[in-house]
Structure 1
Amino acid sequence: MSSSATISVGIQGDGTNGKSAVLANGKEIRKRGPNCGVRHLQCVLLFFGLTVAYALRVNLSVAIVAMTDNSTNPDFETYTWDNKGVVLSSFFFGYVVTQVPSGQLAHRFGAKYLLFFGLLLCSVLAIGTPWLASFGGQSAVIAVRVVQGLSQGVVFPSTHNILSRWSPLEERGRLTTYCYAGSQFGTVIMLAVSGEMASSNLGWPSIFYISGLVGVVWSAAWLLFGSSSPSENRFISAEERNLIEKSQRVVEDGEKKSLPTPWLKIFTSPAFLSLTLVHCTHNWGFWTLLTEIPTYMNSVLGMDIKSNALYSSLPYLAMWIMCYVFAILADIMNKWECISLNFSRKFFNSVGHWIPMVALIGLGYMTKETTGLAIALLTVAVGMNAAVYLGFQVNHIDLAPNHAGTLMGITNCAANIMSLIAPLTVDAIVKDEKDPVEWRTVFFVSSGFYLVGNLLFIIFGKTQVRKWNDYGIESSTEMEGKPEGKNVAEP
């Protein structure tokens, strides 16, 4: 890439109108790209891919209640397991291992097949879970969850890698939010219907059969229509491909695959380190709620599994809806050009952390007599988390689009160590599941993580492309970012 190849100016943040005043050799080549194109098809596919991933991830959270309590459906086998926290957290033992390797594999070879094989394997294992539970008990379920975690470790690095290739700068926040909203949609669907499935004639095994079969169907659709980048897609128009590629600070596919990863520069970048820390603290709070809400509602609020599953899904329904609300709000703010991209990222990240922090503090004082208020606070605590998709969640692509998959692999690996530890910490704190005082400690700890993580992101977080994004390129071009024509900063 020569320094005269392409210069993009006049783009600010994640605009809403699709404009991209792109100049090539001093001539304007585009005012507006297609409003609905192949990039949006990729977004839809990724949305449902994350729907499947999270359905497969959280199906055990409700199923485990029916699997260990024969009052739910006495027609199906139940088990006596010593430590449900270990079973619930076992997914993350595998999940953290494949994060960084997945980022590198996606960087070198493209993310399409990595995502395909990862979710296909996870889906097949879900279908086999009931048989494995009957055959090998708790140990077999832990083993299969570890392998499912290994297979799903490819999901976020692959998704971020694909988004870095498919998202024009001015649509980055919006498309990222729409894609990751699929994770909440999958959680909502799984939590909402799993209680009914467990108490039906099909019993708790149907939770695993149905989620697994849906995953196999999605894998087939992705294989047919998904692509790692615009250059590998046979359906994309030349106009849309030009819109995407000329608005990004991303090198060509051939160059990218041979681009070295600047490990030292990454791990000594304050902006990246603050991103890693906020990802860790967010995951602690979020996954404490995701894995423990069914147990909390059953034990403290006294809800049966049907109402438990339904009300457990409400917070994630709120989060799914708020994904779109926040995306629209960000679009309006950017259209009016009333805030900078840096302020936008930190504002939304604060909404996604500090409002849940306050709600969790209130939740610590709830009892059976205040069930309605407890559900409302849970809904706020989880629903407001949607704002982070316009905060730290997209910041990997802001800092280094050429290495977005690798950066996500690193931060997600560290963050999911927190996801692994969080349920175990709940087990250590909560000795009597019916004691609201012990749950209060759990919620206070999560609130503390939310407070500290976002504060560090506000102080040290950045949105300008790091210079090490182009590390290894002999001649790089100054591309897009701000009206003044610069969007590059030191580490």
Structure 2
Amino acid sequence: MEGLCQGVVFPSVHTLISAWVPPNERPVLGTCAYTGNQFGTIVMLATSGLLAASPAGWPSIFYISGGVGCLWSIVYFIWGASSPATYKRISVEERKMIEMAQATEAVSEQPKEKMHTPWLSFFTSPPFLALIAAHSANNWGFWTLLTEIPSYMKNVLNKDIKSNALLSALPYFAMFCMSFVFSAIAMQLNKRNCISTVTSRKLFNTIGLWVPMLALIGLAYVGSDQSNLAVILLTITVGFNGSCYLGFQINHIDLSPNFAGILMGITNCVGNIMSIIAPLLVGFIVTNEHDVEQWRIVFFIAAIIYLVGNGLFIIFGRANVQKWNDPPAKPRRNSTPQVESQH
């Protein structure tokens, strides 16, 4: 039930970014929005061991994280808005600035319920299929590490539960910080008009997937007696993955501002299938959690998927609004018969 409910979060966030954020600010502000995901990961990984060992026991992990989610929902229900036009507290100047920036894009003025969703165009579009591949590759590596790092640190690196919790959070703290570093770089490139939008997307996506790919290959050959080096490589792997927020993560809005939420829903669905398969495959491969060679296979598989996913994004990825972004509206059916002309 939690998974079903959370499935709407990313598509909703993409729809809000498309409606609220001017095109030239989307990479940076989109990164700011999505780094909240890493912030929550950092807090819960770092404190879960302490909470489990507290008098409240392991259920406190669920009570606290669930309670924070409920509190956020109330706050957002009070102060959130779907668009600048529906937000009462925005100034006239800011709303006009956003709306004028949005007008430079091919954003349809038709009411959403009248727009025909071009499903066939989605799945016959090479840029969108490449986007699915990049999102799936990212999720495979991300969730392989997120679900397996604690086990790897405990059984291979021989870390105790308290240091394990803090060290498990370290890579995601690095990702949180590096996301802002990459955002600052992207902001400077944007101000100086150094590179095109599509080049920027591919550059940051390559940093976010291929640098971790190289780190995973290195991690595959780290012995159990080199725990510090393993932690450094894990931190690099996850930390540089934050560059993807400026790559594929925002590319849905580039391709189609009108259907950004739907596109994110599709790629996130396929990506989450990868998130399910990856830990299951790890469980199938790693029958002995103390065996470094079995973990090596896991890291190599993730590295190969990173290689292929970003390779397809480099070849077929685009950052211009696609022609199917603004399809013709479905014709209305008139309830009254038309009178034929007598002339």
TM range (shorter): over 0.9
Q: Which amino acid aligns with 1:164?
A: S
Aligned to 1:251: 108
Aligned to 2:27: 173
Aligned to 2:47: 193
Aligned to 1:26: none
Aligned to 2:340: none
Q: Please show how residues 38-437 of structure 1 align to structure 2 within 5 Å.
A: 147-248=1-102, 249=105, 250-252=107-109, 255-437=111-293
Aligned-pair CA distance for 1:366: 2.2
Q: Which amino acid aligns with 1:467?
A: K
**In 1, Cα distance between equivalents of 2:114 and 2:288:** 55
Aligned to 1:445: 301
**In 2, Cα distance between equivalents of 1:422 and 1:359:** 18
Moved segments of 4+, more than 4 Å: none
Q: Which amino acid aligns with 1:271?
A: P
Q: Which amino acid aligns with 1:336?
A: R
Provide the secondary structure at the position in 1 that maps to 2:225.
helix
**In 2, Cα distance between equivalents of 1:313 and 1:472:** 48
Aligned to 1:456: 312
Aligned-pair CA distance for 1:219: 0.9
Asked if the contact 2:114/2:329 (under 8 Å) is kept, the reply is no
Aligned to 1:44: none
Aligned to 1:68: none
Identity of aligned residues (%): 57
Provide the secondary structure at the position in 2 that maps to 1:402.
coil
Aligned-pair CA distance for 1:473: 5.1
Aligned-pair CA distance for 1:286: 0.9
Aligned-pair CA distance for 1:229: 1.1
**In 2, Cα distance between equivalents of 1:328 and 1:159:** 22
Unaligned runs of 5+ in 1: 1-146, 475-491
TM-score (norm 2): 0.93
Provide the secondary structure at the position in 1 that maps to 2:157.
coil
Q: CA RMSD in A?
A: 1.1
Aligned-pair CA distance for 1:196: 1.0
Provide the secondary structure at the position in 1 that maps to 2:261.
helix
**In 1, Cα distance between equivalents of 2:39 and 2:5:** 20
Please list the CA deviations of residues 243-292 of structure 1 after superposition, one character each: whole Å capped at 9, or x if unmatched.
Answer: 1122122234x623321111111111111011011111111111100111
**In 2, Cα distance between equivalents of 1:445 and 1:202:** 39
Aligned-pair CA distance for 1:416: 0.8
**In 2, Cα distance between equivalents of 1:288 and 1:411:** 18
Please list the CA deviations of residues 208-246 of structure 1 after superposition, one character each: whole Å capped at 9, or x if unmatched.
Answer: 111111111111100100111111111112221111122
